[in-house]
Structure 1
Amino acid sequence: MTIIEDFLIRRDKGFYCAYGDFYIDPLYPVEHAVVSHAHADHASPGHRNIYCTQPTADIMQLRYSKQPIQSFNIIGFDQYFEINGVGIYFFPAGHILGSAQILMVFKGVRYLYTGDYKLQEDPTCEAIVFKEADVLITETTFANPDIIHPDPVSEILKLAVPHNILLGCYSLGKAQRLTAMLNEHCPEKEILVHHSIMPIHRIYDRYIDFPLRYELYNRKSMKEAGQNKIYMVPPLTFFSYRRAKNVLKAFASGWERLQAQNDISLYLSDHVDWKDILYFIEQVKPKAIWTVHGDGRTLHQHYHGDIEIRDIDSQTISPGFC
């Protein structure tokens, strides 16, 4: 078995597999799009054929209403399918609901594209599954020994204060995880969600096996007596409310720069940190590592001389949904 060095390459439209003539997470319309998850930097509209999990399709249909329903090919986890002779499986990535690692098998070699992934516990999405592969194609958003994500429960308990809170977060994945964690660890808090977050919560309600407790935000509710409300808003709304009074401000992210000028720091990421990446590599046991989505130079240095490693994404990608 020989690893094909150009099995997956970076093109303007996304990551391209010429041997199966398909793209993974393309940003522009293509014939065959294999989509790891529904975040907008991985899932875009306009493709003729989309291969993804059912939750990913549901969220894409919500966000891209003009995408024809018949273009979606729904693939279950651990279900085999082929595109032009390349065998493919989806396995849970633990990032958000429906997120998938993509295992491609060609001429006896197993190429595992992680997509975005996390190892931390999250009851609102499928737990990550470890699969061995010859080539690991891993994201490197936080591939830095100086970045170690704190305990998520300790972070969420920072919000257990007698104040109303304006909580910024990404609408998909992070908002639902926060709601579940607040329901469990800060049950006295009343969760009010922005109107753009509500439809995604409703999709999650159909899949997770426990009820999320939340209500749609309205101006009157935030003005009522009491100091137990958390208003959950997307980034643009959060930053437009910088001068809001009588609330504490927090933004849930693994990025330090997004904690600046907030009243409460809230380091909660849906990506792997340095220790998690190393542990994941131990489980996958790859002969080669290809890095994408971020800065993989430190990872390259760490495995230099031990595992063949290279960058197939020379451009540094914007932070995305962290």
Structure 2
Amino acid sequence: MILEDFITITPTGLYCAYGDFYLDPQQPVKEAVVSHAHGDHAIGGSQNVYCTAATATFMQHRYRKFAAVDFFNKKYHEAFKIKDVTITFYPAGHILGSAQVLMEYKGIKYLYTGDYKIEPDTTCEPFEFVQADVLITESTFADPETKHPSPVDEIKKLNETNANVMLGSYALGKSQRIIQLLSENCPTRNIMVHFSIMPFNKIYEDYGMKLGNYKMYDRKVMKNNHENQVYIVPPMVFHSYHKAINVVRAFASGWKNLQQQNGISLYISDHADWAAILETIEKVKPKQVWTLHGDGKQLKDYFKGKLEVKILN
């Protein structure tokens, strides 16, 4: 029997009372199961953190000694227990080390996706479809109007101009994917990255991910070369240089509002779009779908009378 209260939303985050642990807590807790290392899912300060090795490494870089009291690094497909709940991680395809969390309790399987994408990305482990009784899916882009274009086609837009480009990109995950896409599809470009992104690149490479050719940003290079330079910067830097001259501005994101007032729109998302969410539901074959991180109303309407969809947020 599916337990409707197996996962509940609390001010601290998603709580599983049957295992007495939190999924991606927003405040420090005793037992934290962390799907991936982005700051809105992985905070510092918890006592026991269960995650993949890459996620732990990113958290240790970001939070230093405040990352956690103890890390319990788990491999994909390795089952472990917290109280009476058996947990197994499966690749989520979002960023390096990102995991779906399969929780089994009294014969029922609950699958928490965390953030995920199912399209190919050579900078992280590919998404795996796992069957479960309940699919707890992010619904960031759960809108029939949302269809993410090919990331290769998007990055090739940069080949249409010789101008220097300031490219806004999240430091962890997105920047490494952008470097790889640029290296493979924009061979005439000299790729430079902001110093804050460099440690994440090194961690990726330490885990065997090949990003391609790039260098640390050099102001003189940008100043003396007015063509074919791409400078990848984190969002804060991108927004603080909104009047930067002699560059074309672009921001890599699936959000339309982040494309406004830029010279090039760059719709590259690391989340599942509408079609990908539907494909995931089809292959997971759940009896119920619970939605998080977005608006689940359109999914609820789409499956009305066919599949129970519960909106958790």
TM-score, structure 1 as length reference:
0.95
**Offset, 1:208:** 3.1
Map of 2:287 onto structure 1:
287
Q: Please state if 1:135 is matched with 2:130.
A: no
Map of 2:5 onto structure 1:
6
Deviating more after overlay: 304-313 vs 53-62: 304-313
**Structure 1 moving runs of 4+ over 6 Å:** none
Structure 2 contact 191–232 (Cα < 8 Å) conserved:
yes
**Offset, 1:68:** 5.9
Q: Distance in 1 between matches of 2:185 and 2:76?
A: 30
Map of 2:44 onto structure 1:
45
Map of 2:177 onto structure 1:
177
Map of 1:108 onto structure 2:
107
Q: Distance in 2 between matches of 1:177 and 1:188?
A: 18
Q: Distance in 1 between matches of 2:63 and 2:89?
A: 23
Pairs within 5 Å for 1:192-271: 192-271=192-271
CA RMSD of superposed structures (Å): 1.0
Q: Distance in 2 between matches of 1:187 and 1:53?
A: 33
Q: Distance in 1 between matches of 2:151 and 2:75?
A: 29
**Offset, 1:29:** 0.6
CA deviation profile, 1:242-271 (whole Å, cap 9, x unmatched): 111111000000000000000000000000
**Offset, 1:222:** 0.6
Q: Distance in 2 between matches of 1:42 and 1:310?
A: 21
Q: Distance in 2 between matches of 1:156 and 1:68?
A: 34
Map of 2:308 onto structure 1:
308
Deviating more after overlay: 68-77 vs 254-263: 68-77
Map of 2:35 onto structure 1:
36
Structure 2 contact 93–126 (Cα < 8 Å) conserved:
yes
Amino acid at match of 2:202: R
Find the residue that maps to 2:46 and give its secondary structure: coil
* Identity %, equivalent residues: 54
Map of 1:82 onto structure 2:
81
Map of 2:149 onto structure 1:
150
Change (3 A) 1:258 1:22: same
Q: Distance in 2 between matches of 1:113 and 1:181?
A: 29
Find the residue that maps to 1:197 and give its secondary structure: helix
Map of 1:97 onto structure 2:
96
Q: Distance in 1 between matches of 2:211 and 2:69?
A: 31
Structure 2 contact 47–68 (Cα < 8 Å) conserved:
no
**Offset, 1:209:** 4.3
**Offset, 1:218:** 2.0
**Offset, 1:210:** 2.7
Map of 1:318 onto structure 2:
none
Q: Distance in 2 between matches of 1:54 and 1:268?
A: 26
Structure 1 contact 118–272 (Cα < 8 Å) conserved:
yes
Find the residue that maps to 2:196 and give its secondary structure: coil
Find the residue that maps to 1:254 and give its secondary structure: coil
TM-score, structure 2 as length reference:
0.98
Q: Distance in 1 between matches of 2:4 and 2:58?
A: 34
Find the residue that maps to 1:64 and give its secondary structure: helix
**Offset, 1:67:** 2.5
Structure 1 contact 291–310 (Cα < 8 Å) conserved:
yes
Structure 1 contact 124–208 (Cα < 8 Å) conserved:
no
Paired residues in the alignment total 312
Find the residue that maps to 2:66 and give its secondary structure: coil
Q: Please state if 1:26 is matched with 2:19.
A: no
Structure 2 contact 175–232 (Cα < 8 Å) conserved:
yes
Find the residue that maps to 2:192 and give its secondary structure: strand
Amino acid at match of 1:186: C
Deviating more after overlay: 177-186 vs 226-235: 226-235
Find the residue that maps to 2:293 and give its secondary structure: strand
Pairs within 5 Å for 1:269-280: 269-280=269-280
**Offset, 1:228:** 1.1
Q: Distance in 1 between matches of 2:20 and 2:254?
A: 35
CA deviation profile, 1:218-238 (whole Å, cap 9, x unmatched): 211111235111000011110
CA deviation profile, 1:249-296 (whole Å, cap 9, x unmatched): 000000000000000000000000000100110000000000000111
Find the residue that maps to 1:65 and give its secondary structure: helix
Structure 2 contact 36–95 (Cα < 8 Å) conserved:
yes
Structure 1 contact 205–212 (Cα < 8 Å) conserved:
no
